Structures are given as structure tokens and as C-alpha cells.
Amino acid sequence: MKNRTGAVKTSRAFCDAFNSRAIAVIETMLDEQVVFAQQNVEGSLIGKASVISKFKTRFASMTGDSKETAVPAIVDLSDIKAHPCVVIRRNDISTALILLDLKINNRIRSITMLTNPDAVAKARIALGPERSR
């Protein structure tokens, strides 16, 4: 990983924005040509407007018991150990793993959402000093 510190900061900032449903903040984090891919969904979304629309729709559908929270985590990939990532949780159950690929300027150039239970189970929630309270 080229910039682990930047990746950790970006994944934590993404979690904070996701949890507060701050679309404008997420938008500032994305590259103009960001790609969003989701496991078991054919095709990808390309471009900031499409990805923001996806998050707006997702946030609008979160009501009652279906609210999701994002937490920073790490996952071992085949070529990278302890890769910073994001885990999406619903009712304290991890339901998705989000891998963020960053450009050199720490803008998100791709978002990959994995929902396979085996992949999600590999992620380890990362509680740093400021998050352990």
C-alpha cells in the first residue's frame, strides 16, 4: 500500500460521513471518475454523480431497524496485509465489506462492496485510541 496513513484517515472519514449521512462530505472525498462495484450486482457505476445518487438512495432507504453504520476495519487481502477498509453493520451484525482504492491525493477512485459472508468475516474492526471509548 502506497500511503497507509492516508488510507486509514480516508476510511475513518468515510465512516464518519456515512454514519452522519453527510452526502456533501462523501462527494468531496470522491474522484470525478470514481467507480462503484458491488458483489453479485452486474455492472458498475462510473462517475461521482452516479455514486452519490447510489448513496442518496441507500441512505433514504435506511429507516427503523434497517439503519446501517460504518466502522473502520482492516482486512488481509491476497497481496496486502492489514488493508484499511470499512465494515457496514446492521443491528451489530457485519453485512458488507467496503474496499476503498485511493489515488495519490487520497481521493477515492473506486469503491468495492463485498457482501459474501466469508469475505465480510475476514475483516477485523479497528478500534483506535479515539474510537475505543
φ/ψ of 22, rounded to 5, equals -85, 80
Indicate which CATH number applies to the domain containing 92: 3.10.450.50
In a domain, 63, yes or no: yes
**Cα-Cα-Cα-Cα dihedral sign, residues 20, 22, 23, 25:** negative
The number of distinct structural domains making up the chain is 1
- Between the alpha carbon of residue 83 and those of residues 17, 25, 62, 72, 124, the distances in Å are 20, 23, 28, 11, 10
pLDDT on residue 62: 84
Nine cell digits for residue 2 = 502506497
pTM metric for this prediction: 0.88
In a domain, 131, yes or no: no
C-beta separation of 51 from 37 below 8 A: no
In a domain, 70, yes or no: yes
pLDDT on residue 133: 35
In a domain, 17, yes or no: yes
pLDDT, one tens digit per residue, over 57-111 is 999 988 777 689 999 999 988 878 888 999 999 988 999 999 999 998 889 999 9
Domain residues for the domain of 20 are: 4-125
In 3D, which of 104, 80, 102 has the Cα closest to residue 34?
102
In a domain, 102, yes or no: yes
